[in-house]
Chains A and B, each alone.
Chain A
């Protein structure tokens, strides 16, 4: 197995964190990241950044007025929303 260099790992770091690499390739990067004092802090920095981005996701409950408006529109289209909605 060819040893990975830091630049190759940096080029693929986001793909790795996004789960977009093949399992074999991901394992190779994981091994490098666990052992490399230069790349490991970089990974922690990027993980923290991606966590902040993900935390901005809307938790729902946009305005009740919007929901009522969509329901009214659908009822006008002939749909009877189910009790679940």
Chain B
């Protein structure tokens, strides 16, 4: 059981919360893009966090608490529809990804993720994912959160985390393989990783 809110010294806010500013800014940019909206979201997140500091429970993850505030602020101005994405079966998505690997091998792209620097393409494709899928992919695959922590922060069941995550990964793989084919990476050496 977590401790109830206590009287937290103001000074703790600068020590506990501010070191996460860069991480929050990174998360905000995945949610709101690279423009001024993301910077506004970061500022609003820290303002809200400071004003709610007495509700932070010492000993819990401050970064997760800030991300939750950031996400809630972001979605507070958006419609429910903008947050919805198609329901998918996690196991079927995993099997579909296995089929993608077979297809990639047949077209000479079986080692595409090892051989080529696809980070820019990955960033672009993550930005194109539906918001509800994107936030799960960002938290689990980029921020390295567990399914349980992600479910708690997003207030959704773990099964929904899993299905959104697996769908997002499968979609990203499809698009990256298409990108690799279109860029002529099959059997070539363009954008090959250095070193």
A contacts, CB < 8 Å to B: 7, 10-15, 18-20, 41-42, 45-46, 48-58, 60-63, 66-67, 69-70, 73-74, 77-82, 84-85
* A56-B43 contact in complex given A62-B26, A77-B50, C-beta closer than 8 Å: no
Separation of A51 and B100 alpha carbons in the complex (Å): 17
Residue of B at shortest CB range from A67?
B21
A sample of 5 more A-B contacts (CB under 8 A), given A11-B94, A66-B42, is A14-B97, A45-B101, A56-B123, A62-B22, A81-B18
* Number of A-B contacts defined by CB within 8 Å: 125
A79 and B14 contacting across the interface, CB-CB below 8 Å? yes
| A52–chain B nearest beta-carbon distance, Å | 5
Q: Would you give the shortest CB distance from A43 to chain B, in whole angstroms? A: 10
Whether A55 touches B25, Cβ cut-off 8 Å, given contacts A48-B114, A70-B42, is no
Shortest distance from the beta carbon of A34 to any chain B beta carbon, whole Å: 18
B75 within 8 A of A: no
Interface string of B98-136 (1 = CB under 8 A from A): 100100110000110110001100110010000000000
Contact assessment for B91 and A11 in the assembled complex, using a CB-CB cutoff below 8 Å: yes
Instruction: Tell me whether A58 and B94 are in contact in the complex, defined as CB-CB below 8 angstroms, given that A53-B141, A77-B50, A79-B10 are known contacts.
Output: no
* A60 vs B104: C-alpha distance when bound (angstroms): 34
Cα distance A10–B51 when bound, in Å?
Answer: 47
A82–B97 CA distance with the chains assembled, in angstroms: 48
